Amino acid sequence: MPYIPHDAEETAAMLAAVGVSSLDALFDEIPSSLQVHDMALPEGLSERVLRRELEGRAQSNTPLLCFAGGGAYAHHIPAIVWEIAARGEFYSAYTPYQPEASQGTLQVLYEYQSFITRLTGLEVSNASLYDGASGLAEACLMALRIQGSEKSILVPENLLPSWRKVLDTVLVMQQIRLIPVPYDARTGLLQLPAEAGDAAALIVPQINAFGLLERVDSLTDWAHAHGLLSIAVVNPLALAMLKAPGDWGEQGADIAVGEGQPMGIPLTGGGPYFGFLACRKAYVRQLPGRLVAKTLDARGREGYCLTLQAREQHIRRGKATSNICTNQGLMVTAATIHMATLGSHGLQETAHICHTRAQQLRECLQELPGVSFPHAGPFFHEWVLRLPVSAVKVRDALLGHGLLAGIPLQEWHMGEAGDLLVCATELLEESDLLTYRDALRSVLEAQ
Amino acid sequence: MNHPRENNRQNAVTDSIFDHDHALPAPESPGDIPAELLRKTPLNLPNASELDVLRHYTRLSQKNFSIDTQFYPLGSCTMKYNPRIAHAMASLPGFARLHPETPAPAMQGLLQVLWELQEWLAAATGMAAVSLTPAAGAQGELAGVAMIRAYHHARGDTARHKMLIPTAAHGTNPASAQMAGFEVIEIPNLPDGDLDMEALDAHLGPDVAGIMLTNPSTLGVFERRIAEIARHVHAAGGLLYYDGANLNAILGRVQPGQMGFDVMHLNLHKTFATPHGGGGPGAGAVAVQERLKPFLPLPTVTKGESGALRWMTAEDAPRSIGQLSAHGGNIGVLLRAHAYIRRLGRVGVSRVSAYAALNANYLLKELQKLGYQAAFPERRASHEFILSVSDLQQATGIRALDVAKRLLDFGIHAPTIYFPQLVPECLLIEPTETESQATLDRFIAVMAQIREEALAHPELLREAPHHLPVGRLDEALAARKLDVAAALS
């Protein structure tokens, strides 16, 4: 029996100890009308056959050289990251509610929180949320709690649309209105909102959905001048190069949130990733999710434990800051090892290579007839390419060349039919950029 | 990479990654990005050698308890063995390198796995349809109660703003209902562990959206009158939500769909053996009866007429409650759950609850022989049971916390303690089906020794643990000092 160690003799002995005659008798309190004896499940497989079947499935997914981003990025993950994160002592550990038996996980989380505060320039980071988008919803709810009476959030129209959808699901349940902030169609950049209304916060996406860098200082200052909080939405790798949210404008952003996937997390079709959330220390009691602190034991030895648990559902129940319980612990473990392996030096270097590759690719596509770049920039590692034909068709045709060429903005109901969001990371060599150019040229010529 | 400090000495006690703290000069600034957008404060992350990083995190891992190294009789958490084959399959490059925006024709292998998992979870729960997207149990609950509201609203029934929840429920239940905008009404349990039907009937009415239950309940016993509860709630126009935290107790034996539940979540990181990972990621798939299908969260996987699979969008399902995360949920976790179910198959899955119940009832009987008091001695244990050490507390002042901490000294993870709150000084014990009799017997022997110690040498328990990297930590100091990030050196 897979993973059940009892043989017939052991089972009989244990049943006798319990004082029942059969396994069925253990369910004698359950009305027999409720008991089922069959389910439409397949037959079990040996590990050998299971492996063969799933390897077949994995191989039937077309291997593609990745030029797509849009919130999930193909990066190199050093071998040691998952070699250590997948150790049974991390992989199969429980939530660190028993701190004496969880010092490994707790210290990792404390280091993670420290790394995130340094990347974002804010004072406090929680121990993770599900992903960037759900993290942004939590950040909005947090801003609403801090501000008290306000009932809406200013949401940029150039926020990633999948993130906007999550806000629509979560915030609208609580009758919170999402007030759109338009962008300039020519530059792709946010316009200063016309008025603050009853908004608690302004979301400032750095990088926006077109891959462009926003004028974060003036947006943050505008928010503060109108009594709003500024919620920074940031890419953690880009923060190795770009201004930390804590330095935005005169006073700095109040909350920073983002998708942690670029920090050592494989793409895996969309998850599991993790959301990070950092804030000023003054707001720590409104923070959702777990938080780890350093403390001492009775003998004066340093150790780590979960803290301010009265914010959380297992203590405060219906009055908790969030319903979140299970978070993305193992992803954060991997991200911590990833950041420690690269260090500030490696992260800065990776960020610079990404930026350089994106510049090089843009330059090398400029020579193709009929293509253009609708936005002048600046960008980090992603930009919009405007094609003379449907971007969906071009993307689909390039699959045949082994390329995931980007994301047609039409699929997001943004931009024009020819707009393709293209991303370049350090995984691409210069020769890959030429492969992309040549394949695109041949596809465009065939149209 | 260079060592930033000449005097960096490994300190076995603190073992700090921040000994390597050092800001190196940043690479030259890119010319095309305006200076005011570039980093101003130097990025100060440690720059350690790869070997130092490897040793640091390997040593940290060794300070953890884990299923791979210890027994976890942790009630309500189902800490069963996490088969390594599931991890190996989820890590295959054909899955791990898939970008979420890959067009469906290029990711049929993944979609096939997810499609099968949807079908299998529906079959295992007796429900009509499944969405795999919730990232954890709490997100599944949020989606579930949101679907209940959407269902009522779609019928023009907009006055149902109350959610009934047993007093003993998991904390996420009221938190999720609150987050979805419901008013939470608590329903008490009777002394025998069953729900108080009179209290339930008193609250049912046109303002009640539904009730959130788990069965077996958090008290470790099966709610015997579930069919009657379902009848009453449905008669009053409400829906029943099943919290799948305790599904391991009935897997392959009783289906939530057959008990009358309308919507539920499953904790794949409990029942379907995916790892807890030190706190996540989990997966909290939701399953519904036919009438709630239009409201399932997106995306789900659907099969076209040609047999090709694709993600379902809001255009396909305009009444969906919407999207809960940027993509399709914790897919790597779903891959593991799929591998687990496929490995066990129909017969293997149906054995799960039988052996989970056998192990729990065996432990209960043997621990009672040692003098431990069952909270519900007249009842059959489900996959878990509650002991109360109130008698020890009265005799010696020893509390459940002290028993739990002493267990750690013997290399056994503590059971869940002080939950559910209505049983004083309680230990909630769940062995799971993957533990052998020998492991259970060792636990019983340790519990016997601890009971003797409690009576003869209570200070041994009160000061436990003695043999771990740290003793009991000063949590008040942690909250007061609030050192939650390493200061820059």
3-state secondary structure of A212: strand
The helix (run of H) or strand (run of E) holding residue A408 is: strand A407-408
pLDDT value of position B1: 38
Contact residues for B47 (Cβ-Cβ < 8 A; gap 6+)? A343, A344, A345, A346, B1, B2, B4, B20, B22, B24
Q: Answer yes or no: do B281 and A271 touch at CB < 8 A.
A: yes
Mean of the pLDDT values across residues B188-214?
A: 96
Partner A, chain B 299-328, Cβ-Cβ below 8 Å: 314, 321-328
The tally of domains found in chain A comes to 2
* A341 contacts on B by Cβ (under 8 Å): 50, 53
Please report, in angstroms and rounded to a whole number, the separation of the first and last CA atoms in chain B. Answer: 20
B362 touches chain A (CB under 8 A): yes
Question: Are A140 and A260 within one domain?
Answer: yes
CA distance A232 to A251: 13
The helix (run of H) or strand (run of E) holding residue A120 is: helix A103-120
Which residue of B16, B28, B57 to mutate against A (max A Cβ within 10 Å)? B57
Q: Would you say B454 and B402 are in contact if contact means Cβ atoms under 8 Å apart?
A: yes
Whether residue B9 has pLDDT greater than 80? no
Q: How far is A202 from chain B (nearest CA, A)?
A: 19
* B486 contacts on A by Cβ (under 8 Å): 110-111, 114
Count other Cβ atoms within 10 Å, centred on residue A118: 27
User: Is A434 among the domain residues?
Assistant: yes
pLDDT value of position A447: 82
Nearest to B350 among A39, A175, A325 (CB): A39
> For residue B163, which amino acid is it?
M
Q: How far is B425 from chain A (nearest CA, A)?
A: 16
Whether residue B444 has pLDDT greater than 50? yes
Q: Is B14 exposed, middle or buried (0-12, 13-18, 19+ CB in 10 A)?
A: exposed
* B142 contacts on A by Cβ (under 8 Å): 170, 323
CA distance B140 to B264: 8
pLDDT value of position A1: 85
Polymer length in residues for chain B: 489
- What proportions of chain A, in percent to the nearest 5, are helix, strand and coil? 45, 15, 40
* Nearest Cα residue in chain B from A285: B479
CA distance A237 to A427: 14
pLDDT value of position A314: 86
pLDDT band at B12 (very low <50, low <70, confident <90, very high): very low
User: Is A58 among the domain residues?
Assistant: no
**R_g over Cα of chain B:** 25
Q: How far is B236 from chain A (nearest CA, A)?
A: 22
User: Is A83 among the domain residues?
Assistant: yes
B348 touches chain A (CB under 8 A): yes
* Nearest Cα residue in chain B from A275: B325
Nearest to B278 among A61, A274, A329 (CB): A329
Q: Answer yes or no: do A170 and B324 touch at CB < 8 A.
A: yes
* Nearest Cα residue in chain A from B410: A101
User: Is B321 among the domain residues?
Assistant: yes
pLDDT value of position B14: 52
3-state secondary structure of A190: strand
Whether residue B299 has pLDDT greater than 80? yes
Query: Crossing angle of helices A8-18/B331-369, nearest 10°?
Result: 50
For chains A and B, what is the number of CB pairs under 8 angstroms?
666
pLDDT value of position B24: 73
The tally of domains found in chain B comes to 1
Last residue of a domain, which of A337, A366, A400? A337
* Nearest Cα residue in chain B from A5: B436
Task: For chain A, list residues with pLDDT below 50.
Answer: none
Which residue of B470, B474, B482, B488 to mutate against A (max A Cβ within 10 Å)? B470
The tokens describing A406, both together, are 């980007």
Q: Answer yes or no: do B435 and A99 touch at CB < 8 A.
A: no
The residue with tokens 């009848």 is: B231
CA distance B65 to A99: 10
Q: Answer yes or no: do A266 and B97 touch at CB < 8 A.
A: yes
Question: Are A261 and A376 within one domain?
Answer: no
Q: Answer yes or no: do A60 and B94 touch at CB < 8 A.
A: yes
Read off φ and ψ for residue B380, nearest 5 degrees. Answer: -75, 140
Q: Would you say B275 and B82 are in contact if contact means Cβ atoms under 8 Å apart?
A: yes
- What proportions of chain B, in percent to the nearest 5, are helix, strand and coil? 40, 10, 45
3-state secondary structure of B227: helix
Q: Would you say A112 and A332 are in contact if contact means Cβ atoms under 8 Å apart?
A: yes
The tokens describing A322, both together, are 């969030």
Last residue of a domain, which of A303, A337, A371? A337
CA distance B174 to B159: 19
Question: Are A331 and A384 within one domain?
Answer: no
User: Is B15 among the domain residues?
Assistant: no
Nearest to B278 among A105, A312, A407 (CB): A105
CA dihedral B336, A332, A261, B130 (to 10 degrees): 40
Q: How far is A105 from chain B (nearest CA, A)?
A: 6
In three state form, how does the secondary structure of A328-375 look?
A: CHHHHHHHHHHHHHHHHHHHHHHHHHHHHHHHHHHHHHCCCCCCECCC
Question: Are A219 and A128 within one domain?
Answer: yes
CA distance A59 to B109: 7
Per-residue pLDDT reduced to its tens digit, B157-200 = 999 999 999 998 999 999 999 999 999 999 999 998 999 999 99
Contact residues for A385 (Cβ-Cβ < 8 A; gap 6+)? A365, A371, A372, A373, A406, A419, A420, A421, A422
Question: Are A315 and A402 within one domain?
Answer: no
Last residue of a domain, which of A337, A360, A395? A337
Q: How far is B342 from chain A (nearest CA, A)?
A: 5
Question: Are A316 and A362 within one domain?
Answer: no
A394: domain CATH number is 3.90.1150.10
Question: Are A320 and A182 within one domain?
Answer: yes
Weakest-pLDDT range from A260-269, B418-427, B438-447: B418-427
A285: domain CATH number is 3.40.640.10
pLDDT value of position B27: 76
Per-residue pLDDT reduced to its tens digit, B35-89 = 999 999 999 999 999 999 999 999 999 999 999 999 999 999 999 999 999 999 9
The helix (run of H) or strand (run of E) holding residue B400 is: helix B400-409
> For residue B299, which amino acid is it?
P
User: Is B205 among the domain residues?
Assistant: yes
Report which of B138, B137, B54, B69 is spatially closest to residue A90, judged by C-alpha positions: B69
* Nearest Cα residue in chain A from B124: A39
Question: Are A101 and A229 within one domain?
Answer: yes
Q: Answer yes or no: do A163 and B50 touch at CB < 8 A.
A: no
Contact residues for B7 (Cβ-Cβ < 8 A; gap 6+)? none
B290: domain CATH number is 3.40.640.10
Q: Answer yes or no: do B43 and A239 touch at CB < 8 A.
A: yes
Model pTM above 0.90: yes
* Nearest Cα residue in chain A from B434: A4
Whether residue B4 has pLDDT greater than 50? no
Domain that holds residue B314: 84-343
Q: How far is B307 from chain A (nearest CA, A)?
A: 15
Question: Are A381 and A301 within one domain?
Answer: no
Domain that holds residue A306: 79-337
Question: Are A146 and A194 within one domain?
Answer: yes
Q: Would you say B17 and A340 are in contact if contact means Cβ atoms under 8 Å apart?
A: yes
Q: Answer yes or no: do A94 and B77 touch at CB < 8 A.
A: yes
Question: Are A274 and A418 within one domain?
Answer: no
CA distance B37 to A93: 41
Question: Are A323 and A363 within one domain?
Answer: no
In the sheet that holds B162-166, the strands lie side by side as: B129-131, B286-288, B263-266, B239-244, B208-213, B162-166, B183-187
Q: Would you say B236 and B208 are in contact if contact means Cβ atoms under 8 Å apart?
A: yes
Q: How many CA atoms lie within 13 A of B478 on its CB side?
A: 24
Whether residue B13 has pLDDT greater than 60? no
What is the average pLDDT value for chain B, to the nearest integer? 94
Q: Would you say A391 and A419 are in contact if contact means Cβ atoms under 8 Å apart?
A: yes
B140 touches chain A (CB under 8 A): no
